[in-house]
Structure formats: C-alpha cells, structure tokens
Amino acid sequence: MSDNAYEAIIGLEVHTHLMTRSKLFCGCSAGFGAGPNENVCPVCMGMPGVLPVLNRHAVELAIRAGLAAHCEIAPESIFDRKSYFYPDLPKGYQISQYELPLCKGGYIELPAHSEGAEPRRIRLTRIHMEEDAGKNIHESGASLVDFNRSGVPLVEIVSEPDIRSADEAGAYLRELRSILRYIEASDGKMEEGGLRCDVNVSVRKRGAAEFGVKTEIKNLNSFRFVEKAIEHEVARQIDILEAGGRIAQETHLWDPVREVTRPMRSKEFANDYRYFPEPDLPPLRVPPDLVEAIKTAMPELPADQRARFVRELGLTAYEAAVLTQDRDLGAYFETMLAAGLKNHRTAANWVMTEVLRVVNEAARPLADAAPLAIESGELLKLVETGAISLNAAKTAFAAMCKSGKGADATVAELGLAQVSDEGAIAAACDQVIAAEAAKVAEYRGGRDKLFGFFVGQVMKAMGGKGNPKVVNEILKRKLSG
C-alpha cells in the first residue's frame, strides 16, 4: 500500500505579534526582552475595574496584513470575550474576535517551487485581532507567571484547508512571513513567540469528495516542526486507516524532542469558550478612507517584487522567489544593482550564494553579517569591468565581511586587481614561451591540451593577477605564431 493513495488536507492557524510599540489595550511596551513583569500595568494585569482601550496602530497593521492578503476589510467588526481559566490569562477571558472579524476571505499566492510550475493559491478564511496571554514558567518546583506578553497585539491568520503537503505548508508559512515582514506588520520571529502555528490535518483517499476526520496539532513554534509534525501526523493517520481504524477528532501536542505528536488530555483544553461581544469596547468601525490611505501607503509586496524581477530584470522564477523570501534580501539585491550592474543574474546569484552563505554562517541578520549592499554592488562592478576576477571578488567579499571596509579599499589592500595591460601580459607570455621551448614544440605539433599548462605558467609568472581573458587571447596568438 503506498501513501500515494491518500492526500493530506491541511489548514493552518497562524498567530503573529504585530509590531506596535505598545500593547493592544494599554500603554505598556510590547517589546521583547524586558525583565519579568516589567512591562505591566493594572490593565494588562486584569486588576479589578480596569478597561481596555484599543491601540489604533495595531488596527492599522492588521488592516495592512488583510490588504496584503487580498482580504475584505469589514467596515464594522466586533471584539468578543473568549473565556477560559489559565494562570497566564489575567482576566479569565481573552479579548478576541469571533463572529465578525476585521478581515474576511483573501488568499496567499505561493511562489512556484520549481521552474515551470504553476503558482498555488491558498485561500484564507479570516484574519482577526486578539491579545496575547502571559507566560507560565516552571522553575525549581515553583510556577511563576510573566505578564510582559499579556495584551501584546496578535493577528490570527486562518487558512482554508487548501494545503496538501508538509512542503506546501512550509512554503505557505515562508510566504506569509515574508509578506508580514515586507509590510512591517510583524517581524515573524518564531523563537520569540512572534509567530506561532496550529495545524489542522486530515487525510482522505485521493479523489474522495468528503474530508476525513481532522486532528489539531498545537505547540508548533518553528517552520521545521510544522513540516515534521504534518509528516508524522499524515503517516499516523494513514496507518490507522490502513489498519481499518478510525481517526479520533482530538487535539495533539507536538513533542519536539521525540518528534512525535501526542493527544492532549481533555483537561488540557477547554471546549466551551462562552464567547460573547466585549461590552467594554464599542464596535470597531473602519472608515473606507482609512482603508484607502493604508492601501496607498502599502509597500511593494513580495509577489509583486518577484514578478518585477522576472519581467524587468530577466531573473528566473526560482531566483526571484529566493530573493523575495525576505524583504532585506530583496532590498539588498536592488541596492547592489544601483551600483550600475548590467548582469542582473550574476548579481542575483551572488546574493543567493555568497551573501546567503555569510548570513547563514554568521547566524545573524543580513545587516550585521554582510557588507553594505552598495559595496557588494561596487565589488561586482569591478568584476564586470574586468578589474578583478570573480574568484578575487569572493576573496575580497570574505575580507569585507570581517573588516567592514569598502570594495575598492579591500581590492587595493589585498592587491587583487588583475592585470589587463597587454604589454605586461605579452611580456609574461614571451618569457614562458622562451623558457618552455620543448613544450611549445609539442603544442605546435598538435598537443592542444598543453594550452592550459601555458596559461597556468603565465598566471604564475604574473602572480595570479593576469586577466584570464586577455591572457588566453595573447597566449593563443603567440603560440600559434
């Protein structure tokens, strides 16, 4: 029995922090990294008598996210109370949106994953606003609660069950994160809890009309875990069905250590949240001119930038997709081109190989790890004009990453400029021809393979700085002469 007889039906619920300075309903800092319970006040601690006041900037960022995902922005949406008891939830309810969310419908278009493939559209159900809870910490036998995160604004982005594989789920998440970063709505940092994901998974026989019974997997805080958990869960469900069993509709937790999902005890989740409209907040009215203003000020989205890279710069769809995974990367590439580079694909490949390598090796943000984009551009410009070789450029780049110096200075300092002067090259060629008379005779006798040997000798004589193209030309002329 092959797994191929089944298809997976996957929907994702992504929670992401909005990049506001203050929390959703009070003036406390929404920043990450403060000491425990430093960013708290009576409102986000749920003291008796306090009331929420909605953060306008958070609403604007949520609208921006909605517009970027092609959602319809509701002219009037409402906040609801979602009730459950948990120590990190100060009011005993979370202010969320239930029946009337801010954004409805919409879709995320996934970039083609290989050349020639069709882009995929994953439809969205909704995007709604809500507040985050605090954090429980269990340490040395005690349970502590840090409320810094309590009240930090979130959007929950709910997809339709349009995703068909773990890979596609990963692609969806990467594209979503990229969009959120482009529009500066979220930094999408999973490790800081800035992006969290719940997954709904079911499987069905290929061609079946009905969906199977789904399970929900919680506690997924990295893209890799999402992919692994889906793979694990899909295989688990297929095994059960193949053995003649039934899937139980339940909530699973991802165990990142053992790399398995396990069902939560029924006590670990509440099943009746007793939603009702939040009486402390009037309906959220979004006037059409605000939506228009946000639309007008919207930065270029990754999909648009990708299309432009292909259309105007002649990149392949794959190259465009890699460069737009991250807003900083796309911007880096465009800044490089501003140095006046003619060969856009060389520049693209430079970013995809050299730049991404140093970023990954340094495990630091692009701005910290790589030289200024304009200096990278200047460096490639030197390659284009023949002033240095591509290999020399790589050497220079590595040095620039460490020193922070510019392209020209580094090339000069390391003496990487190549010699294109025909007189100097001709002299070196003459010297080699004179010294290797026997081999010259062999070559002229028909042993063409020796050409490489002569090039090597000339380069050696020139300390490796001869312009290979010019060396080839002159050497060929002289050997044949």
If one asks whether residue 264 binds other proteins (CB under 8 A), the answer comes out as no
If one asks whether residue 281 binds other proteins (CB under 8 A), the answer comes out as yes
Here's the x/- map for other proteins, 125-154, by CB under 8 A: it reads as ------------------x-x---------
Nearer to other proteins by Cβ, of 40 and 373: the residue is: 40
DSSP code at position 118? P
If one asks whether residue 98 binds other proteins (CB under 8 A), the answer comes out as no
Nearest by Cα to 219 from 233, 208, 206, 209? 233
Using a 10 angstrom Cβ sphere, with 0-12 exposed, 13-18 middle and 19 or more buried, the burial of residue 8 is buried
Pick the binder of other proteins from 1, 33, 35, 49 (CB under 8 A).
49
Nearer to other proteins by Cβ, of 85 and 363: the residue is: 85
The dihedral built from the CA positions of residue 301, 14, 145 and 22, taken in this order, carries a sign that is: positive
Q: How many CB atoms lie within 10 A of CB 101?
A: 25
Pick the binder of other proteins from 12, 58, 93, 475 (CB under 8 A).
93
Helix (DSSP H) and strand (DSSP E) numbers for the chain:
17, 17
Amino acid identity for residue 355 in this structure: V
In DSSP terms, 94 is beta-bridged to 82
> Using CB under 8 A, which residues numbered 217 to 256 contact other proteins?
none
Question: Largest Cα–Cα distance of the chain, in whole Å?
Answer: 100
Whether the Cβ atoms of residue 418 and residue 386 lie closer than 8 Å to each other? yes
If one asks whether residue 260 binds other proteins (CB under 8 A), the answer comes out as no
Nearer to other proteins by Cβ, of 21 and 274: the residue is: 274
| Binding window for other proteins (CB under 8 A); candidates: 182-190, 233-241, 271-279, 307-315 | 271-279
Nearer to other proteins by Cβ, of 147 and 225: the residue is: 147
Nearest by Cα to 96 from 267, 290, 274? 274
User: Under rule CB under 8 A, how many of the chain's residues touch other proteins?
Assistant: 30
* Gap between the Cα atoms of 379 and 392, Å rounded: 10
Side-chain-side CA neighbours of residue 11 (13 Å): 20
Residues 6 or more apart whose CB falls under 8 angstroms from that of 430 comprise 478
Pick the binder of other proteins from 1, 33, 35, 85 (CB under 8 A).
85
Least distance in angstroms from the C-beta of 148 to other proteins: 14
Residues 6 or more apart whose CB falls under 8 angstroms from that of 476 comprise 451
Nearer to other proteins by Cβ, of 239 and 280: the residue is: 280
If one asks whether residue 42 binds other proteins (CB under 8 A), the answer comes out as yes
> Using CB under 8 A, which residues numbered 334 to 363 contact other proteins?
none
* Gap between the Cα atoms of 331 and 474, Å rounded: 41
Pick the binder of other proteins from 279, 288, 423, 446 (CB under 8 A).
279
Here's the x/- map for other proteins, 53-82, by CB under 8 A: it reads as xx--------------------------x-
Pick the binder of other proteins from 3, 76, 280, 430 (CB under 8 A).
280
Please report, as ranges, the residues that interact with other proteins according to CB under 8 A.
42, 45-54, 81, 83, 85, 87, 90-93, 143, 145, 267, 272, 274-276, 279-282
